């Protein structure tokens, strides 16, 4: 394995936090595989990254399919010969009162946020074991993985599950020198928060567009909402040798919102 040419996969990286993470890891010197289910946006991002001089390839797939997570890892290895970091970033939200949670919502959120993460951990870990190298797996958790939010019941439950799988995978994979951690962002203005705000406003006649986002953000002690680069900074650290002695942790990066 070539330690000069480390390789990272970032799922859900056509936009939002995933894109910022992929860009940061590219600047850290990684060869990058950007992955997403949204092919148009994915190709745009790949083009933009290539123009910036990053060593990047793209792979369109659905993280909720076990076979496609395996194919993603195989693709990365075919392109770049090895894998060093796998970031399970892709995720989806849903906003409803508890009494309106239905089968579709449960299936969609658990399939993508939880099953997708499990399949990603498995595919990456099997490759690290085959390579006989150390490896880093980094999962997208959330403040909602530490605290359960009204109207975000299913989403919060999926992120609690991600935290649990992060712990158990870290315990079981430690013998292979595989670190498994998670990042827990707070309130970042991506497409996800645009959707959450839009939905919350629909359910509360006292809210105007932007109010739900402002209400969540106003509790942030450092006095500003999160930028994608804040999240990318943490993932960069967790991907580095400096994080070698950290495993099983779901680390909050939220400007001072949830204290654990």
Find the radius of gyration of the CA atoms of the chain. 18
The answer to whether 114 contacts ligand CC(=O)C(C)=O (rule: CB under 6 A) is no
Helix axes 16-27, 228-239, angle to 10 degrees: 50
CB of residue 36 vs ligand NAI: minimum separation in angstroms?
5
Under 8 Å between Cβ of 9 and 86: yes
Instruction: Decide if 159 is catalytic.
Output: yes
Q: For residue 164, what are the CA distances in angstroms to 8, 87, 159, 249, 253?
A: 23, 17, 9, 10, 18
* Residues in binding contact with ligand CC(=O)C(C)=O, number by CB under 6 A: 8
Q: Count of residues binding ligand NAI (CB under 6 A)?
A: 27
| Residue 259 designated active-site | no
Tokens of 241: 């040798």
Closer residue to ligand CC(=O)C(C)=O in complex, CB, 49/216 = 216
The residue annotated as part of the active site, out of 155, 165, 183, 225, is 155
Q: Counting contacts by CB under 6 A, is residue 192 touching ligand CC(=O)C(C)=O?
A: yes
| 8 A C-beta contact, residue 239 and residue 251 | no
Least Cβ distance, residue 51 to ligand NAI (angstroms) = 19
Residue 124 Cβ vs ligand NAI, minimum distance, rounded to whole Å? 15
Find, among 241, 136, 132, 143, the residue nearest to 180 by Cα. Answer: 136
The alpha-helical segments, DSSP class H, found in 28-115 are 39-51, 66-80, 103-109
142 binds ligand CC(=O)C(C)=O (CB under 6 A): yes
For residue 92, the partner it binds in ligand NAI, ligand CC(=O)C(C)=O, none, with Cβ less than 5 to 8 A by kind, is ligand NAI
List the end-to-end C-alpha distance of the chain, in Å, as a whole number: 38
Identify residues 40-99 at the interface with ligand CC(=O)C(C)=O (CB under 6 A): 93
Instruction: Give the residue numbers marked as catalytic.
Output: 155, 159
Contact positions vs ligand CC(=O)C(C)=O (CB under 6 A): 93, 142-144, 149, 152, 192, 196
């Amino acid at each position: 394995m070539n330690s000069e040419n480390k390789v990272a996969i970032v799922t859900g990286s056509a936009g939002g936090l995933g894109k910022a993470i992929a860009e940061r890891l590219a600047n850290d010197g990684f060869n990058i595989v950007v992955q997403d289910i949204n092919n148009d946006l994915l190709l745009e991002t790949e083009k933009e990254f290539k123009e910036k001089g990053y060593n990047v390839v793209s792979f369109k797939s659905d993280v909720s399919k076990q076979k496609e997570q395996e194919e993603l890892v195989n693709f990365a290895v075919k392109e770049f010969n090895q894998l060093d970091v796998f970031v399970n970033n892709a995720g989806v939200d849903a906003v409803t009162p508890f009494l309106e949670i239905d089968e579709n919502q449960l299936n969609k959120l658990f399939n993508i946020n939880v099953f997708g993460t499990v399949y990603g951990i498995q595919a990456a870990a099997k490759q690290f074991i085959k390579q006989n190298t150390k490896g880093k797996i980094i999962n997208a958790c959330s403040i909602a993985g530490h605290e359960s939010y009204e109207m975000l019941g299913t989403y919060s439950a999926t992120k609690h599950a991600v935290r649990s799988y992060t712990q158990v995978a870290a315990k079981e994979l430690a013998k292979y020198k595989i670190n498994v951690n998670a990042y827990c962002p707070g309130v970042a203005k991506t497409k996800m928060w645009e959707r959450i705000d839009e939905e919350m406003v629909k359910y509360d006649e006292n809210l105007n567009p932007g109010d739900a986002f402002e209400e969540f953000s106003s509790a942030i002690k450092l006095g500003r909402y999160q930028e994608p680069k804040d999240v990318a900074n943490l993932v960069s650290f967790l991907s580095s040798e400096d994080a070698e002695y950290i495993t099983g942790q779901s680390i909050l990066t939220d400007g001072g919102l949830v204290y654990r």
